[in-house]
Amino acid sequence: MPHSYISYWEHDVWLKDIDIAIIGSGIVGLSSAYFLKKKYPKKKIVVFERGFLPHGATTRNAGFSCFGSVTEILSDIKKTGKEKAYKLVRDRFDGLNALVKLHGKDAIQYENFGGYEIFTPDEEKVFDACKKKLDDLNRDLQDVLHLKSAVYQVSEKNKSSDLGLKNIVGMFFNPWEGQIHSGYLVQSLVDLCRKVKVEIITGLNVTHYTTGSEEVHLISENDIEIKTKQLVITTNGFAKDLVPGLDVHPARGQVLVTSPISGLQLKGTFHHHEGFDYFRNIGDRVLVGGGRNLDPDKETTTEMKPNEVIDQHLLKLLKEVVLPDKKFTIDHQWSGIMGVGEEKSPIIQYVKENVLVAVRMGGMGVAIGTNVAQKVAEIM
């Protein structure tokens, strides 16, 4: 007799007659499930997740509602030209509006304190060079984003000290940026999926799949075999485990969160060095993350481990710039895995007749994930 890791009851209720299976329960996976169920209410849609919570970057990111800093956009223009660079900004801006429209501000604890880009003393020439290009950049972006006022402003000279910052030679301010609670974002997505009767199964790691003329066979690490008519892969930085040929690679991000800081002045989201470093307040705590550019070889991994070189860099940023003369401890530390590639745009395409991938969020899943999911629903 065949012996199985699952029972008849489990198979009969959750794993039988699946129309669309989605691997990955992050922003793209859960949002895709929701939009597909709204489009096809009679289809059985099941989301499979390897962890007890999303395993990638969705609940491990910094919760930035942002679409690009001045140095990042200027760098993208230099590498790819204005058309591609501005399309990225437009997609992120539209995606953030779609995110808030879908969930509402309260459900994801959206707060609009604005965003800043900071420049330390060793970057004074960079700051001056960016200032010279700011008028042209704002003129272009106002047209691209259909805004009536400038996107980026040179911040007042005393603003950095008002925010408790030190060793700053200049800042740009973006009034359109905000911050969210990444945990509540996923909770809201789960609630939306449950309302439309999408099944979410956690703790099941699909390691590979095979395709037939009418079905896709998913195989888990416990040798559970699941049949589905169509498959959507949304595992982002882990995508090569299932689709080896894709131009998407893991990029690990390190994050630290401090103890509560009495009298914390900091409010808003902050970018540094083309967005490779970032920090923000979470209530009266400070989150700081990034630094993967300092040790790129070790950070191109799916292992969720700390990196001592980057940890020391982030602590130095906290002590010298963000929280000078403040006593604090690190209460939380974690890593998250993003999906990046040669191109910053996402991959949304069929790799087999009945297998669709939606990956490579480029560290901007919060900004573009909702619209990527809507495109998945449009394509299928």
Per-residue pLDDT of 203-244, as tens digits, reads 999 999 999 888 999 999 988 999 999 999 999 999 999 999
**pLDDT score recorded for residue 54:** 85
The residue extents of the domains of the chain are: 8-60+183-247+343-379, 65-180+249-340
Q: Mean pLDDT, to the nearest integer, of 97-109? A: 98
**pLDDT score recorded for residue 1:** 62
**pLDDT score recorded for residue 195:** 98
Taking each helix axis from N to C end, the angle separating 365-379 and 82-103, rounded to the nearest 10 degrees, works out to 90
pLDDT above 70 for 2: no
Indicate the CATH number of 65-180+249-340 among 3.90.1010.10, 3.40.190.10, 3.30.9.10, 3.40.50.1100. 3.30.9.10
**pLDDT score recorded for residue 213:** 81
pTM higher than 0.85: yes
Backbone angles phi, psi at 65, to 5 degrees: -100, 80
Taking each helix axis from N to C end, the angle separating 82-103 and 182-195, rounded to the nearest 10 degrees, works out to 60
Q: Which of 2-11, 72-81, 240-249 has the lowest mean pLDDT?
A: 2-11
Identical fold, 8-60+183-247+343-379 and 65-180+249-340? no
What is the per-residue pLDDT across 295-316, written as a single tens digit (0 to 9) for each?
999 999 999 999 999 999 999 9
Q: How confident is the model at residue 55 (pLDDT cuts 50, 70, 90)?
A: confident
Backbone angles phi, psi at 150, to 5 degrees: -65, 145
**pLDDT score recorded for residue 140:** 98
Share of the chain above pLDDT 90, in %: 93
Angle (CA) 157-285-31 rounded to 5° is: 100
Whole-number Cα distances in Å, 319 to 277, 281, 286, 313? 14, 15, 12, 10
Q: CA–CA separation, 315 vs 328, rounded Å? A: 11
Which stretch of DSSP H or E encloses residue 210? strand 206-211
Closest CA to 158 of 173, 170, 148: 170
139 and 147 Cβ atoms separated by less than 8 Å = no
- Domain 8-60+183-247+343-379 belongs in CATH node 3.40.50.1000: no
**pLDDT score recorded for residue 157:** 81
For the chain, what is the mean pLDDT? 95
Q: Mean pLDDT, to the nearest integer, of 16-43? A: 98
What is the per-residue pLDDT across 180-201, written as a single tens digit (0 to 9) for each?
999 999 999 999 999 999 999 9
Q: Which residues are within 8 A (CB) of 159 and not within 5 positions of it... i.e. 6 or more apart?
A: 171, 173
Residue for token pair 């491990």: 60
Q: How confident is the model at residue 158 (pLDDT cuts 50, 70, 90)?
A: confident
**pLDDT score recorded for residue 329:** 97
Q: CA–CA separation, 178 vs 113, rounded Å? A: 6
Taking each helix axis from N to C end, the angle separating 70-80 and 82-103, rounded to the nearest 10 degrees, works out to 130
Whole-number Cα distances in Å, 200 to 6, 15, 50, 158, 355? 16, 11, 11, 50, 19
Q: How confident is the model at residue 35 (pLDDT cuts 50, 70, 90)?
A: very high
